[in-house]
Amino acid sequence: SLKTPFPLIKKLMLSEAVFDVERLWNALRGKGNVERFEKRLVGLTWGFASSMFVSSVLNYFLAKMMLRSDEGSAEYAAELGKMTGLSNVVILVPVMAIMIFVFNALFKAVSELTGLEIEEVLAARHRKKSDEEKTASPSEVE
């Protein structure tokens, strides 16, 4: 997706659903860090893609180890069930660790290159409520 106008990491994470995109890009322009941020996004896209590659490799080897019986047999179904259960640990845990690392690196890059705290560039619905809103009664908030 790096060769397209919309790299995967931009489509998934740099959207209005997650960030106040206009504020983010304005802050990057103001600090002169647009190019540095774009380069970081390339690295993060590779990191995200590596999680997909790791998932594929782990799934292949897990299937090679677990599936020994003929397709359609009761033994095959049992092996497939066992493989599915193991995949939650063998595949999901490493892939989630990689994705958490990638998203953490994205948040760190946003904060570092914009000069803003991450809460300041999150979409409005994700920002922490102010102290005033926290102490207001439910009827006052409506």
110 in a domain, yes or no? yes
Which is more confidently placed, 1 or 111?
111
Span 63-91, average pLDDT: 93
How many CB atoms within 10 Å of residue 40?
Answer: 19
Residue 18: pLDDT band (50, 70, 90) is confident
Task: Answer yes or no: are the C-beta atoms of 113 and 33 closer than 8 Å.
Answer: yes
142 in a domain, yes or no? no
53 in a domain, yes or no? yes
138 in a domain, yes or no? no
pLDDT at residue number 123: 77
137 in a domain, yes or no? no
SS3 19: strand
129 DSSP 8-state letter: P
117 in a domain, yes or no? yes
Tokens of 1: 């997706």
Structural domain including 90 reads 8-122
**What whole-number distance in Å separates Cα of residue 128 and Cα of residue 28?**
22
Tokens of 140: 């006052």
pTM: 0.73
Span 87-105, average pLDDT: 93
Taking all residues of the chain, what is their mean pLDDT, rounded to a whole number? 85
Task: Answer yes or no: are the C-beta atoms of 28 and 122 closer than 8 Å.
Answer: no
134 in a domain, yes or no? no
2 in a domain, yes or no? no
Residue 2: pLDDT band (50, 70, 90) is low
The tally of domains found in the chain comes to: 1
